Amino acid sequence: MQSILKTAIENSKKITKNGKVATYIPELAKGDRDALGACIFDISGNIILEGDYQTKFTIQSVSKVVILICALIDNGKDVVFSKVGKEPSADPFNSLVKLEMKETHKPSNPFINAGAIVCTSLVEGDNGIEKFSKIHNMMKKLANNNDIEVNYSVYNSEKLTGNTNRAIAYYLKGAGIIEKDVEDVLDAYFKCCSVEVVVEDIARMASVIANNGVAPWSNDRIIPEYINKIVKAIMMTCGLYDRSGEFCIEVGVPAKSGVGGCIMAVVPNRMGIAVVGPALDKYGNSIAGTKVLEELSKELNLSIF
Residues assigned a catalytic role: 61, 64, 189, 241, 259
Q: Which residue is nearest to ligand GLU (CB)?
A: 61
277 lies in the site for ligand GLU, by CB under 6 A: no
Which of positions 64-103 make contact with ligand GLU (CB under 6 A)? 93-94
Name the residue nearer to ligand GLU (CB basis): 60 or 211. Answer: 60
Of the residues 31, 88, 258, 278, which one makes contact with ligand GLU according to CB under 6 A: 258
Beta pairing partners, 256? 264
235 lies in the site for ligand GLU, by CB under 6 A: no
Q: Smallest gap, in angstroms, from Cβ of residue 192 to ligand GLU?
A: 9
Q: What is the DSSP letter of 220?
A: -
Name the residue nearer to ligand GLU (CB basis): 72 or 259. Answer: 259
The answer to whether 151 touches 58, Cβ cutoff 8 Å, is yes
If binding means CB under 6 A, how many residues of this protein chain bind ligand GLU? 11
Q: Smallest gap, in angstroms, from Cβ of residue 241 to ligand GLU?
A: 7
Q: Smallest gap, in angstroms, from Cβ of residue 213 to ligand GLU?
A: 24
Phi, psi of 270 (to 5 degrees): -130, -60
Name the residue nearer to ligand GLU (CB basis): 85 or 261. Answer: 261
Which of positions 186-215 make contact with ligand GLU (CB under 6 A)? 193
Name the residue nearer to ligand GLU (CB basis): 151 or 228. Answer: 151
Which of positions 148-167 make contact with ligand GLU (CB under 6 A)? 158, 165
Per-residue b or e along 170-199, where b marks 16 or more CB atoms closer than 10 Å to that residue's CB: ebbbeeebbebebebbbbbbbbbbbbbbbb
259 lies in the site for ligand GLU, by CB under 6 A: yes
16 lies in the site for ligand GLU, by CB under 6 A: no
Q: Please, what sign has the CA dihedral across residues 86, 92, 97, 99?
A: positive
> Using CB under 6 A as the criterion, which residues of the chain lie in contact with ligand GLU when the complex forms?
60-61, 93-94, 113, 158, 165, 193, 258-259, 284
